[in-house]
Amino acid sequence: MLRENVSEGFRYRHVLALNPYFGHATTAMGIFPPTGLEYIAASMKDLVDKVTLMDLRYEEACQDPETLNAFIRDEHVDLLCVTIGWTAQFETVCDLVKRLPPEVCTVVGGHKATEEVELLFERCPNIDMVVRGEGEETIRRIVRGDRLETILGLSYREGGKIVHNPNQELPSLDTIAFPDRSLRRQEYRIIQYGVRLSRHTFDTVLTTRGCPFNCTFCTFSLNPLGQKRTYAERSVESVIEELKTITADVVLFSDDNFFTNPKRTERLCDLIIENGIKKTFVVQARIDVAKHPRALEKARQAGFRVFLIGIESPHDRILGQLQKGITQQQIRESVAILRGYDFYLHGYFIYGNLGESREEMLYIAKFAREIKLDSISFQKLRAEKFSPIKQAVEETPGYWYDRVGGSVYSDTFGRKELKDIRNHIRADFYRVPQLMHIYWKARRIGLADGYDLLHALVHLPRLLAGLRTRDKAQKQSRD
């Protein structure tokens, strides 16, 4: 039997949209807002009296469940919408969610929630509904009080059982309201162990969803239900409308590949310039963006300065295995072209690939220096739920993963060996000259200044103390 305020026709008055992640493990993500949750908040705000958007990464007092619950009751919150998007801190988030007031209707959604529907209902008896996949239309129907059995993409409790409705069709992007920044309770900045490391503020914009490419390791073009997210674009006019509401200095275009449609990119850049929008833009891109010099020049003129590029591997054999559709030589030629625009170039790599030797993994750092990337990040190969790599791992003797979505290991390269390789790659690339280059490059393109360096040096003891505390906690958890 559903509680009174979960039944059809009930009018919700005060909704709390909650991002339940906090602590040093999510510090890097803290630069940017929880975009998915903000889309949910914007989708329902015209249907309720009040929406409170709370990001626990910035709400230190409410990180204590008793304080959070007091806020919920004192503010007469009658609907809780919680995003669970990450594998990191999943157990901690579950512990927090199950301590939320049981009398308040609780709905969860997000990538991880969609993957773990049954587990969440089991772990958290107070969860009433789970929104699966893209949830903007689903949450509107819940808030409107539609009959639950008619709401696509919804799982809910009924009569002691869990009911799973059919999946929601993927909506048109032009029907979805973009985030309302006025709902935020703080600005987003680079903060490490309580120290603000930059005067810049950060924000994100999503102008497309889906990706037309089919890399074997990637599931970005799939939702957590395994549905292929057809590449879809918002109108450039709506993007400009949203950009005009943003006060942050640095804006990330979180599209999987900002240059999928170069003509559209050019038009958007033209409108940014025409409307006098002055920001530092960050984009995600494939290396073949170098084939479009007109789009690159317009991007430079419009304020695009940082390119996050999925390179994945310096080895043709592994690039073929990952179905990247590029070669090492093409990477070299493309990066050389991009460097001519003075963009800050950050490369993503994957190590621990099937059949990859230690020497091949360690070559990542040398290769990145050879092609003169400004910075790199690297992660272990992962067996995502619907990725072809997962099946390949299962069919390759000597390789395994502990959980779906988790890292891939082998008889030769277990946790210890891959950690050692990771440390070697990091130390080899991030030498003192490279660190100095990163600072001066960031200054040249407007991402850092002398104040930022001085501020970091003044607070260096506090930062080091935070790092020591983190390392000690990680060691204790392993032990």
The pLDDT tens digits for 287-319 are: 999 999 999 999 999 999 999 999 999 999 999
**DSSP code at position 349:** E
Tokens of 257: 């590949």
The 10 Å Cβ neighbour count of residue 141 is 19
Look at the chain and count its residues: 479
Domain 4-164 in CATH 3.40.50.280? The answer is yes
CA triple 432-434-436, angle to 5 deg: 70
- Each residue of 310-345: b (16+ CB within 10 Å) or e? bbbbbbeebbebbebebebebbeebbeebeebebbb
- Distance of alpha carbon 205 from alpha carbon 253, whole angstroms: 5
What's the pLDDT score for residue 409? 95
- Distance of alpha carbon 180 from alpha carbon 270, whole angstroms: 25
Report residue 165: phi and psi, to 5°.
Answer: -75, 160
> Under a CB-based contact definition with an 8 Å cutoff, are residues 84 and 107 in contact?
no
Tokens of 212: 């037309």
The domain ranges of the chain are: 4-164, 198-454
pTM for this prediction:
0.85
- Distance of alpha carbon 256 from alpha carbon 236, whole angstroms: 17
Express each pLDDT in 92-150 by its tens digit: 999 999 999 999 999 999 988 988 899 999 999 999 999 998 899 999 999 999 999 99
> Under a CB-based contact definition with an 8 Å cutoff, are residues 426 and 371 in contact?
no
What's the pLDDT score for residue 170? 74
- Distance of alpha carbon 282 from alpha carbon 300, whole angstroms: 11
SS3 111: helix
> Under a CB-based contact definition with an 8 Å cutoff, are residues 72 and 104 in contact?
yes
- Distance of alpha carbon 16 from alpha carbon 124, whole angstroms: 18
CA triple 16-161-73, angle to 5 deg: 25
- Distance of alpha carbon 240 from alpha carbon 33, whole angstroms: 19
Express each pLDDT in 305-354 by its tens digit: 999 999 999 999 999 999 888 999 999 999 999 999 999 999 999 999 99
Hey, which of 275-284, 404-413, 435-444 has the most confident mean pLDDT?
275-284
- Neighbour-count burial of 394, counting CB atoms closer than 10 A to its CB (0-12 exposed, 13-18 middle, 19+ buried): exposed
- Distance of alpha carbon 120 from alpha carbon 132, whole angstroms: 12
Tokens of 380: 């272990």
Query: Which CATH number applies to 198-454: 3.30.2000.20, 1.10.10.60, 3.40.50.970, 3.80.30.20?
Result: 3.80.30.20
Report the DSSP beta bridge partners of residue 281. 251, 304
- Distance of alpha carbon 121 from alpha carbon 83, whole angstroms: 15
Instruction: Give the percent of the chain with pLDDT over 90.
Output: 66
